[in-house]
Amino acid sequence: MAVSGATRVAAAPAASALSDRLIRHPGIARLGVVVLLFIVWELAARFYLDHDFISPPSVVLMSLGKLLATPGVPSALWLTLYEIAIAFVLAVIVGAAVGLAVGLNRFANQSFMPIVLLLYGIPQITILPIFVLLFGIGAAAKIAFGVSHGMFPIMIAVAAGVQKIEPVLITSARSMGASRWQLLRYVVFPHMIPSFFTGMRLGMSGVLLGVLLAELYVSTAGIGYFTSIFTENLDPTKLIGLVSMLAAIAIALNEIVRRAELHYARWRD
């Protein structure tokens, strides 16, 4: 309701001045679209739709405190964040190591890249039950599933980045007597930075997908337990609140790696 009040104030200025500003700043219009969607959701949920299945955003927002007071919910959220963090670190380590090993050697690249691409092409959702059989319903299965989703894009981006380094740079460094380590440290690593960060961005969306899929799949613990309980109890307020908090976490993490990529990808220019 506070939201609809704010738009009434915004709609007050002279129409021509407003449309002028809107045309010069698409960002304002974009914000307007988002606000409008929330208003439609609010009104529809309040007056037309069944309260057993959907709640208006204002109610969801007001009940976030109650959701976080539900025993187990905060720890499930923290655990998910922890799983994402560990899975991301592992995916980066494994992805960068394999990507370097495969990318640095032309023969290795030619031999193992098709296998990496083949494995990356497998619809991993089909093997999620195997992860749970092997690792149980705890954090290990979710971390493992996150790693298996996140490591492939990193491998591919890192290997491609290493391959793209101009041979002249490597030859000249070698001819100046660079050791293998010096070659890596002063030629390969600096030139890999942009593709490494691209890989990390793609890896993060993979990790998020893997961890969240596994969290939703296991319905006896963690996030999946609460989503199924809230669904069974027809408690849309808490369900939307929980899902929105996870979406907010995903958006924040994506944004961090995207900013990092924008920052470091500019390095060479």
Partner 1 sequence: MNGSGRITAQSRLWSRLVQIAFLAALLLLWFLATNVWGVSRILLPRPANVWDQLLNVLGSGAFIPDLRVTLGELVAAFAISMSLGVSLGYAISRSQYLIRVFEPLLAAIYAIPIILFLPLYVMSFGLGPNSKIALGATISFFPIVLSTIAGFGHVDRTLQTAARSMGASDLQMFRHVLLPAALPVVLAGLRMGFTVALLSVIASETIASFAGLGHRIVDLAENMDTARMFAYIVFVIAIVAFLNAVVSKLEGRARWR
The yes or no reply on residue 251 touching partner 1 (CB under 8 A) is: yes
The yes or no reply on residue 120 touching partner 1 (CB under 8 A) is: no
Measuring CA to CA, which residue among 33, 67, 5 is closest to residue 244?
A: 67
For residue 190, the minimal CB distance to partner 1 (Å) is 28
The yes or no reply on residue 19 touching partner 1 (CB under 8 A) is: no
Q: Which stretch binds partner 1 (CB under 8 A): 7-15, 114-122, 161-169, 175-183?
A: 114-122
Please answer whether residues 158 and 95 qualify as being in contact, where contact means their C-beta atoms are separated by less than 8 angstroms: yes
Q: What is the 3-state secondary structure (H, E, C) of the chain?
A: CHHHHHHHHHCCCCHHHHHHHHHHCHHHHHHHHHHHHHHHHHHHHHHHCCCCCCCCHHHHHHCHHHHHHCCCHHHHHHHHHHHHHHHHHHHHHHHHHHHHHHHHCHHHHHHHHHHHHHHHHCCHHHHHHHHHHHHCCCHHHHHHHHHHHHHHHHHHHHHHHHHHCCHHHHHHHHHCCCCHHHHHHHHHHHHHHHHHHHHHHHHHHHHHHHHHHHHHHCCCCHHHHHHHHHHHCCCHHHHHHHHHHHHHHHHHHHHHHHHHHHHHHCCCC
Scanning residues 44 to 83, which ones bind partner 1 (CB under 8 A)?
53-54
The yes or no reply on residue 133 touching partner 1 (CB under 8 A) is: yes
Phi/psi for 268 (5° steps) reads: -80, -25
- Which residue from 2, 5, 17, 126 is in contact with partner 1, where contact means CB under 8 A? 126
How is residue 104 written in tokens? Answer: 């640095």
Nearer to partner 1, 93 or 251 (CB): 251
The yes or no reply on residue 101 touching partner 1 (CB under 8 A) is: no
The yes or no reply on residue 18 touching partner 1 (CB under 8 A) is: no
Nearer to partner 1, 58 or 228 (CB): 228
Nearer to partner 1, 145 or 196 (CB): 145
Scanning residues 185 to 214, which ones bind partner 1 (CB under 8 A)?
205, 208-209, 212-213
Looking from the CA of 238 toward its CB, the CA atoms found within 13 Å total 20
Count of residues near partner 1 by CB under 8 A: 48
Scanning residues 161 to 180, which ones bind partner 1 (CB under 8 A)?
none
Question: In angstroms, what is the C-alpha Rg of the chain?
Answer: 24
Nearer to partner 1, 135 or 178 (CB): 135
- Which residue from 6, 10, 29, 68 is in contact with partner 1, where contact means CB under 8 A? 29
The yes or no reply on residue 114 touching partner 1 (CB under 8 A) is: yes
Interface map 231-250 toward partner 1 (x if CB under 8 A): x--x-x--xx--x--xx--x
Residues binding partner 1 (CB under 8 A)? 23, 26, 29-30, 33-34, 53-54, 107, 110-112, 114-115, 121-123, 125-130, 132-134, 205, 208-209, 212-213, 216-217, 224, 227-228, 230-231, 234, 236, 239-240, 243, 246-247, 250-251, 254
